[in-house]
Amino acid sequence: MALSEELVAPWAEWQESYQDGQRLLEAGTYALTEGAVAAGLGVFAGYPITPATDIAEYMSKRLPQIDGYYLQAEDELAGMHMCAGASLGGQKAMTATSGPGYTLMHDAYGWAIVNEIPVVVVDAMRVGPVSGITGAPGQGEFYVSRYCSHGGNIETIVLSPNSVQETFWLTIDAFNLAERFRTVVTILTDQVVADMFEDLFLPGDYGALSDIVVPRRHNLTMPFFPADSSEIDLPPNVIGEGTGVCVSPYTHTEEGYDIEEMEAQWSQTFRLINKIRHHKDEILRYEAVGLDDAEVIAVAYGATARTVKTAVLEARRQGVKAGFLRLISLWPFPDELFERDQPYLVCELNYDGQLVREVMRAAPDKNRVHFMGKSGEMHTVAEVCEALEGVAKHQKMPQQPYIWTEVR
């Protein structure tokens, strides 16, 4: 029986539709830049930081060629505010950073989210905390990307690619979701996927992507901020068209006026949370291999998913019925993918355990959710194979050096 394989993402079809183009050997940062250009990027504003620096450099070269604008901000906080301003002015906007800069953006994050401003933010994660080791991969911003503003009362959309090619398509997808949901979409990539060179197909004519690219539209009428509504696909608000829109950090009315009444606060919250929760199925993206008969399911995302997938296939060759689940949409968290009452092995690049906590919450039996954390360096195929065998055959994680298994 053939192993079941499933990719649930819009680019599963896009890759079939677009065959004319060029094949390159390029980096994830290059694919990200081209994906943004293909999606109609108008303004990139950011502050160089390893390992996202190459995105800034590519953008500074590429954007003037397409009459777009590269703004080098004084810091990441300014960079994301510039993006929000440019987006309010009618341009698709993006910024890119790594963990230290991502933390500085939270002021702008909240402002863009509450005002329903489409912006795409890239975080190429490295090991931390703080500066950590600049050239080593990490996955420490899983929760930070969910709670990227203070005060609660928001849902966020976060996507994570695991290859150079997927980075290209996923970036277009991120811009589409930002437009459709009128919000910030975070691309949570990592040092490995951002820096590595791989085979990359680029369509020859980006204009031919108009069937898949959601264009920027302008909302010219009230309500600017529909209360108690979870409707999506509303055109974003625009400043400069004389609509009289008001954009602010305050709890707002439908016009955008600041208001200090709880009913308005609740109505705003209903919208910010439920426009995403009520349309989770529009955001769900994942890859699954061999789940049908799996006796243990390995879970990973981003760079980690690359060796973990290889390990799952290797374990199968060794007689362990392993399955593979790669999350592409990380937030809103895909609880529905964890309904199988099987042991899960969650592999991620941190020792504290982040993704694993959500899997524990979503899975039927948290005692059968196992953690395999590494820090700063990739899981090896041998390590993951050993762990899969241990969980499948002995219901426990084997002891291995430099691997953390404790979550509580």
**Residues of this chain that bind another protein (CB under 8 A):** 42-43, 45, 64-65, 67-69, 71, 73-75, 77-78, 81-91, 93, 107-108, 110-111, 239-250, 256-258
Residue 82 to residue 94: CA distance in whole angstroms: 9
Residue 146 to residue 276: CA distance in whole angstroms: 13
Inter-CA distances, 406 with 59, 139, 401, Å: 42, 17, 13
Please report how close the Cβ of residue 247 comes to another protein at its closest, in angstroms.
4
Closest CA to 112 of 104, 120, 103: 120
Among residues 180 and 252, whose Cβ is nearest to another protein?
252
Sort 368 into a burial class: Cβ within 10 Å, 0-12 / 13-18 / 19+.
Answer: middle
Among residues 84 and 347, whose Cβ is nearest to another protein?
84
Among residues 257 and 402, whose Cβ is nearest to another protein?
257
Among residues 246 and 362, whose Cβ is nearest to another protein?
246
Please report how close the Cβ of residue 382 comes to another protein at its closest, in angstroms.
48
Please report how close the Cβ of residue 73 comes to another protein at its closest, in angstroms.
7
Please report how close the Cβ of residue 212 comes to another protein at its closest, in angstroms.
24
Ramachandran class of 319: left when φ > 0, alpha when ψ lies in -120 to 50, beta otherwise: left
Inter-CA distances, 49 with 26, 147, 195, Å: 20, 22, 13
Please report how close the Cβ of residue 102 comes to another protein at its closest, in angstroms.
17
246 with 256: CB under 8 angstroms? yes
**One-letter amino acid for residue 155 of the chain:** E
Please report how close the Cβ of residue 14 comes to another protein at its closest, in angstroms.
28
DSSP H helices, 2-104, are 11-17, 28-38, 53-65, 76-88, 99-104
Please report how close the Cβ of residue 23 comes to another protein at its closest, in angstroms.
23
Among residues 106 and 321, whose Cβ is nearest to another protein?
106
Encoding tokens for residue 370? 């196992």
3-state secondary structure of 183: coil
User: CB atoms < 10 A from the CB of 102, how many?
Assistant: 28
Among residues 66 and 382, whose Cβ is nearest to another protein?
66
Among residues 24 and 104, whose Cβ is nearest to another protein?
104
